[in-house]
Amino acid sequence: MNIIEEKNSVTIKGIKDFDPVHIFECGQSFRWNYDGTGYVGVVQDKVVRIIYNDGTLHIENTTLDDYHNLWHHYLDLGRDYGLIKKQFLKDPVLKEAVVHGYGVRILNQDPWETLISFIISANNNIGRIKNIIERLCEKHGEPIIWDTKIFYAFPEPEKLANASLEDLKLCGCGYRADYIKETAASILSGRVLIHGLKDMSYDKARDMLLTLKGVGPKVADCILLFGLEKAEAFPVDVWVKRIMEYFYADSPIPIKDIKKIAEEKFGLYAGIAQQYLFYYAREKKIGK
C-alpha cells in the first residue's frame, strides 16, 4: 500500500476488495450517505468523504495520523479479503453472493454507537433506522462543522440516559425509547463495560449483551460483528433467513439450525459470509 498525505486529505493506492456501495449500503452502518461525489460519514468527532476508484482510496478531510489511528482499522484494511473470498468461492452457492458483493468489508465501528444503533434496528427498516439515528444525533450529539455544513457526533451514554422518554419518542424511536434509555443507563453506570467486551470470548460477550434491555439474539450478533470485532458472529435477520433457506434448503428452517449450518460451513468468518449473503439477498430481493 502506497500512502500519500495531501493538504487535508489522504490517498492510499493498491486497495483491493473494496467498494463503497457494497460497504456502506449493506446495512451494517447508518451514518454514511452518498452526496454525489463520495460517501460522507461521521465517525467519533470526525466527518470525512470517501471516494474510491480503481484501487485508489481517497479520504477527504483527514490527516495521516488519523488514517493510521482510525481509518485503517475502521475500514478493516488490515484484513486480506482476497484470501477469505478464495475460501468462500469454493462453496458454489456462497460464490454467487461473493461475486455479486465483491467489495464488501466489515467496518470496525464504535461499540457504544453500534449497541444503540442495533437496538433501534429491531423490528425496523434501514431508512427509518437512519432517520432516527440522525435525529438522536442532532438533538444530543456534539456539532461538527465541515464544508459550511453542520454534522453531529453520536451522543454519549450520559446524554441518552438523561434524555426524557418523550424526547426519544419524538426522534421516532417508538417503544424502543425505553430500551435506549435503560441500556444507556446500564452503560453509564458501568454495569456493562461495552468497550471491554472486545477482549472477551464471543460467548461471554454475547451473554453480557443479552442482559441489556432491547438486545436479543440477532441484535447481539450484529453488535458482536460490527462493533466488537467478532467475525464468527452470524446475525440472522429475515433476509439472511430467506437467503439461507433459498440457497441451502427448500423450506423454512429454525434460526438455530441456520446458525449451525453457517458455523459448519463458514466457521470463524461466518459473519463476513453473512454480509455477502445479506447484500445479495436484499439486492436480488430473494424471497420477496
- Give me the least distance between CB of 173 and DNA, in Å please: 7
Is the alpha carbon torsion for 69, 70, 71, 73 positive or negative?
positive
- Give me the least distance between CB of 164 and DNA, in Å please: 14
Regarding 125 and contact with DNA (CB under 7 A), the answer is yes
Cα angle for residues 23, 217, 31 (degrees, 5° grid): 30
**149 in active site:** no
Q: Which three cell numbers stand for residue 70?
A: 482510525
Site string for DNA, 215-234 (x = CB under 7 A): xxxxxx--------------
- Give me the least distance between CB of 270 and DNA, in Å please: 17
Query: What is the spatial distance between Cα 263 and Cα 219, in angstroms, rounded to a whole number?
Result: 18
Place of cell 438522536: 136
Count other Cβ atoms within 10 Å, centred on residue 7: 4
Regarding 239 and contact with DNA (CB under 7 A), the answer is yes
State which of residues 11, 56, 63, 124 lies at the interface with DNA (CB under 7 A): 124
State which of residues 41, 101, 155, 214 lies at the interface with DNA (CB under 7 A): 214
State which of residues 134, 229, 232, 237 lies at the interface with DNA (CB under 7 A): 237
Regarding 79 and contact with DNA (CB under 7 A), the answer is no
Number of residues that bind DNA (CB under 7 A): 26
Q: Which of 218, 230, 241, 259 is catalytic?
A: 218
- Give me the least distance between CB of 127 and DNA, in Å please: 6
Regarding 238 and contact with DNA (CB under 7 A), the answer is yes
Regarding 260 and contact with DNA (CB under 7 A), the answer is no
Residue (75 or 223) nearer to DNA, CB: 223
State which of residues 3, 122, 188, 192 lies at the interface with DNA (CB under 7 A): 122
* CA distances to 114, 161, 178, 193, 256 from 215, in Å: 12, 16, 12, 15, 17
Count other Cβ atoms within 10 Å, centred on residue 216: 12
Residue (17 or 232) nearer to DNA, CB: 232
- Give me the least distance between CB of 171 and DNA, in Å please: 9
Q: Which residues are catalytic?
A: 218
Residue ranges that bind DNA, judged by CB under 7 A? 121-125, 127-128, 131, 169, 172-175, 179, 212-220, 237-239
